[in-house]
Structures are given as structure tokens and as C-alpha cells.
Structure 1
């Protein structure tokens, strides 16, 4: 427990040099009787002439708070953080740890200059109209974001992340974008290089690097839906666009959805699901080699890097996947009930949509209802007719009827019905 007059300051020190630190941060640091932070940050603030004070080289929230708890003699503790405390910073976790364990202790955040603000200034451009993505220490999809925005800032950090960025841009046919890579920003050996992905080397993007990717021709299409003619199809069956539209609507996808698309075929449903949001992750499950290649090509064509391609037969390959929030079944090879059981075992609130063309699949679905795998299903039969020219006339040609069976999901997704 900490006395009320104790204050822990979480101080954003900018890029790391003394010149890049705000006056407010500098004054706060001078007023502290103990400093905590990564070694390079402690070295960057230096020491005041004639004044020595304890410093702890530490960045882990739990250890920082434990140190503060043990040393009650320090009334003003400064925790140094790179960049700005409100931009992909450790400040949030540290503040939460302090408030949970040190009741009555005041926490104060001191903002700093973030790397994107600095790089934008050096490139003489704005950043308020850009998308922001952090790849620091985690796997994040970014191709779809770059495709849809004229400007995208990426924060790198983990080893090899720069090389992966260049590889992914080239894999998705995005050599037309311009990449500005800034490393060691604000230091004497600061380095900023610019060029197309094919012009840059992985070494140009290594370390704590910040990127600005400029796309001169971002995609302007809104909404997830794509016409059938836009997909590569081969000889693989594909869910028609009218059926996809209703099926995607019935899925009621959420911002951070994890979607299993079982029997993905050409990947048309996977593509449209991924296009519903940059943070949606789709597992396209397919056993047909030709279909797997089509999914790869369509993923590349539509730059939907939120799709993970899973080769194999369900339900066996589903066991290793992340729990689904949403399940779409376009083909089950007679394993419908086993697939449903696998998904429900991982998440009892999974939202389920099934497309059934054959009566045998409809029979399986109704057996699943009787066995409690599909609760209170909503069933729609959709029959679509399309026009075709016959001489000077236009005639309607009917497509195969499809049963769209939906079930599950939480009450919020169902509109509390």
C-alpha cells in the first residue's frame, strides 16, 4: 500500500535523444528521486551535474511495481517510456498494475513525441489521414490496410519483421507503393530510405523501424461483396454471389471475428468475410489441391491477407485452429455433425451458417437440430434466376435452389431476440 503523496510518473521521452524530449518531460524527470526504464532510456536522460539518484534498468510492469512497493522512501518515481505514452506504449499495462496493487498512489502520464509524428515531419507530410498498424512483437495482417489507404504507418520491432513486410508486399503484387523506412530516428546516425519494395533491402527495415507506405491508387470499393466474374474459378464449385450476400449477412460478423470457412472451394466466402474488416481472421479449410491453389490466387488478387489457408479434411484439421466465433460450412463431405461438434466444443456461442444444396445435406442439418447441435435454426430457401439473351429477347434462367441454415451466436448478435 502506498501513501497518497507518492506519485509515479509514466514519462514519454520521445525517440530517445535529449533534444527530442519535451520540456514537460525534462522537468518531470528532474523532479524525480528515482528513475526506472530500459537501459538505453536511462542512458539517454543522462545525469544532472552534482546530483545522483537511484536508477533501475527494468521494463516489465510487475517488476516495476514490486520495486516501487519495496522502496517507499522514493516519493516521486519516474518510469521512462519510448515515444508517446498513449501510442502503442507500455504505459497502459504499467498504470493498471500500479492501480491494482498500490491503492492511493497517484499515476500521472507525461506525453512524448511518437515515431510516426517525427517521421511524418521529416518527410514533410501529415499523419492524421493515415492508417496506423503496429507489428511490434506480434503477427498482424497489414496488406488489406495498405491496399485501402493512401498512407499507412507501420511500427516494426521484432527481428526479421522488415524482411517479412517486403516479402508480403511483393507477394501481393504491391510493388507500386512507396516505402519510407526510418530507423534510429533523432540520433546522429538516423537513417531514412525510400523506394519501391523491390528497391529496398531487408537491412533498410531492421530494428526499431517506422515505415510510411504510400499507395497512389488505394482501393475505393466499399462493402465486402464481389461479383462472381472477378474470382478465379477453374473447375471448382463456387458459392454464387447472391447466396454469398445472404450468407455473409446471416453470419453477422464482428470486428475481431475468427471465421472457419469449411469446404472453402474457390475462397469466395473467405474473401468476402475477410473484406468485412481488417482485424477479421478467416481459416479457409479445403482438401481439394486445385481449390487450394485457387484460394491462394484469389487471396492474392483481392489482397485479403486475413485469410489463413488450411489444407486437409474437416473435422480433423479443425482441432488445431483457434476457437471460431463464426462458422460457415459450404461443403462437409458427409461430416456435418462432426464439424458442428468440433466448433461448438471450442466455442459454445459460435455463430453458424450452413449452405445446403443437396437434400442429403438438408437431412444431416435436420438431424443436427434434433441432436441439439443447431438450436432454433433459421432456414431460408433461396432460388435465384439470372437473365440471358436469346436473340432479341431476355429470358430468365434459374440457378439451383440453396438452403441457408443459420443458428447460434450470442444474444447481442441476434439483436436480443
Structure 2
């Protein structure tokens, strides 16, 4: 076993709503010793002037671009950065670790608001999903709504509880129980609650911007049920007929095999269903939907918002020209425009080794093209045929949907 003498460049200290009184001795010592104290105005105001004499600097806005310059301006000085609760749980600790490297940080955490909330509610932390709306649209909460699920929402301010309740009502979760926990761990801690269907425009007293919203999800009877795996009901999407139908969509997502953090190019987006369900598989999944028709592009945007993935990037233009400048994908889906000159080559060239390409078609011309590409690059060529039971007079028979030919392939090479 070896030991090393670590010289920390920055000490990151977590502090809660209980202020200086709740800061442990080791964190107090770091704050007393600091020559520079950096934090939000609210956090800096919690430190006693007579004990913490370092120069005080409030973070400018926007915060993230300011981090490198502010640290560089005070290089060589003992810097302490204040953070709310646990600095590495949706806090400034992430930006500092990315900028300085984890070896240059000394992190002294405080219990997070999520830990406090679970303690007050009696909810096991490992069974509770956390969604942050700090600097993010409220629509992203929709992807986490499932009957019986417990959610903790990190609020962007005093108006967040009302926004959460409105979204719950709009997405068919009006019966959900909502509790707002303010100033957790501090002397002004308060909790109030109600149903999502209640009037949240005027909560009791003045709403505090430092709050967490706890939601016990209850789906309204008769509302559309959305599962956690690809293959959402077709009724979940607004579309003009350009929609990869449910069963083919599920098979397509299985072939694309999304993994956390990966980026998809969805070429010929139509209604955006493939990109939407790619992103719903994990909060860190990203997608770009390329659609040449402006009306359809607007519809994709509305579907993404409604289904909880407002971060879906939409590029209005015709591929392959519209692909120029896009970040390299981990996977590509081509749902339309296969015969456009240069499209398949552009998508193939953009894929790194280990990347996946999936293309669907219903025409003989595009099918012949996919068969030729299979001979060149390998992969799997399958035909997906779905039939639905429909009334035939007084009886029931099968109505065959148009079969879909699908080519899926992984680009060979070093996938590291």
C-alpha cells in the first residue's frame, strides 16, 4: 500500500438550509482557512463574517462558462466553493471535477435535499426516482410518470410545484398526491400537500423557492397507459400517417439497441416516434431527428414535448445535406428517403466502428438497395409482417399490414 501527499486546489463544501449551525467541524475548518469563498449569494450569506474572513465572490450568470476564468483568476490561493447539500448530486461539484479533474478537488458533502426528503417521507432512497427541473423544461418529467411510481422533483423555484401539478393533470395523472417540502433541514422547514387536480395557484403562505416536490403517481382511469419499454401505443403520437407502427417500432428499437449516453440520428423523422422512444429508454440518451417537411418537424417537436423528451434536437432539412456538422452518432435509423443519392454512404461513413445502422422500407426499389448493401457490409435482413384481427361480416379475420423490410448492421472495427 502506498500513500500520497494530496494538494487540493479547490475544496467544495456542502451546506444546507440549517446554515453554519449544520456544518460539521471539518467543513468549518476548510471555510475558515479559505482565502477565497465562492458560492451563490444565498449560500455566502449563511457564513458568519467573524469566522470566515476570506474574499467572497458570487457566481456570475451563466455559471458554467465562468468556472475556468474564475478559478484561473485565483490560482495559487486557497479556494473554497459552497454548494447546496451534496456537491456531486446535481451540484457544482460536477462542473469543478470536469474543469479541474477529480484529483484537484476535496469534496466535503452535506446531506442532500433528496436524502432529507426521503427521511421525512419514509421513502427508500433506492426506490425513488429523482428528476431535476433546475435549468430544464418541466416537460421532461412526463417520461418518468408511471402508475404507483414515487418521484422527487428538484424545483427550479417557487413556481415549480404549480407547474408540476399542471403537467400531471395534462398527462392523465390528476389523481396523483403531491407534497411540497420547503427549506429541508432548516429552521423554516415546512411541508404542504394536495392532489395534482387541486388549485396550486395560491399555496398556503408565501411559497419558498428552495423546495422539493414529492409525487406519488396515480394514473386517471381511462387515460392512455405508456409503458417503460419501446412500443408505445400509436395513439400516443400526433401524426399524418407517417408513423412507424407500434410492433415494427418495438422491433426497430430492439435492433438499434440504445444504451445510456448514446446519440441517434433519426433520418426521415415523420412523427419522431423512433427518436422519442430511443430517448425514453434512459435520461442520458440523445437523438437528432432530421425531417424535411416543416409541418412534420413541428409535429415531432410537439410529440417529444408531450412524451417527456423535450431535449430531442430537430433538424429541418433534407438528408444527406442536412447531416453536415452533426455530432457523430452511435446509431442511425433511416425511416425514409433511402433512395436519396449519397444518403446511405453518408450515414455509413459517419458511424464509428461498433456503430449500428437500421433501415426500414416497404418499397421494392429500396428493398433491392438494402439487399445490395447487405452483400457489401453484412448484417441481417428481415421482413416484418403484422396482421390485425378485424370484423369480417359477423366473423373475425386477419388484415395484413404492408410488410416492412429491415436491414440492421454493426460497423466492424475497433469499437473502443
TM-score normalised to the size of structure 1? 0.71
* RMSD (CA atoms): 4.7
Match of 1:251 in 2: 256
What is the CA–CA distance in structure 1 between the aligned matches of 2:199 and 2:264, rounded to whole Å?
A: 36
Map Cα deviations across residues 79-116 of structure 1 (whole Å, 9 max, x no partner): 432212332222344356555896xxxx5332212122
Q: Equivalences for 1:162-311 in 2 at 5 Å? A: 165=164, 168-186=167-185, 192-195=191-194, 196=196, 199-201=199-201, 207-217=209-219, 221=227, 223-226=229-232, 236=241, 238-265=243-270, 268-270=273-275, 272-283=277-288, 303-305=307-309, 308=312, 310=314
2:93 to 76, 91, 94: 91
Partner Cα separation in structure 1 for residue 312 and residue 129 of structure 2: 23
Whether the aligned pair in 1 keeps the contact of 2:276 and 2:304 (CA below 8 Å) is: yes
In structure 2, the partner of 1:108 is: 106
Q: Give the alignment of 1:309-388 within 5 angstroms.
A: 310=314, 314-315=318-319, 324-332=329-337, 334-335=339-340, 337-340=341-344, 343=347, 348=352, 351-365=356-370, 375-384=377-386
Aligned equivalents of 1:94, 1:232: Cα separation in 2:
40
Partner of 1:117: 115
- Could you list the runs of 5+ residues in structure 1 that have no partner in the other structure? none
Give the aligned length.
395
Corresponding residue number in structure 2 for 1:152: 151
Q: Sort the Cα spacing of 1:44 and 1:311 in 2 relative to 1 into closer, same or farther, 3 A.
A: closer
| Secondary structure of the corresponding residue to residue 147 of structure 1 | coil
Quickly say closer, same or farther: Cα 1:367–1:198, change in 2 above 3 A. farther
Q: Which of the two has higher C-alpha Rg?
A: 1
In structure 2, the CA distance between the partners of 1:352 and 1:20, relative to structure 1 (3 Å rule), is same
SS in 2 for 1:173: coil
Deviation of 1:240 after TM superposition, in Å, equals 4.5
Alignment partner for residue 76 of structure 2, among 59, 63, 70? 70
Deviation string, structure 1 residues 237-269 (Cα, Å, up to 9, x no partner): 654444334322221212233334344445554
SS state at 1:403 partner: strand
Give the Cα separation in 1 of the matches to 2:296 and 2:88: 45
Distance 1:412 1:391 in 2: 58
| Alpha-carbon offset, residue 130 of structure 1 | 0.9
Partner of 2:46: 44
Residue 23 of structure 2: aligned partner: 21
| Superposed displacement of residue 131, structure 1 | 0.6
Q: Secondary structure of 1:45's partner?
A: coil
Contact 2:243–2:270, Cα closer than 8 Å, also in 1: yes
User: For residues 273 and 52 of structure 1, do their structure 2 counterparts lie closer, same or farther at Cα, with a shift above 3 Å needed?
Assistant: closer
The answer to whether the 8 A contact 2:173-2:219 is kept is: no
1:136 CA displacement: 2.5
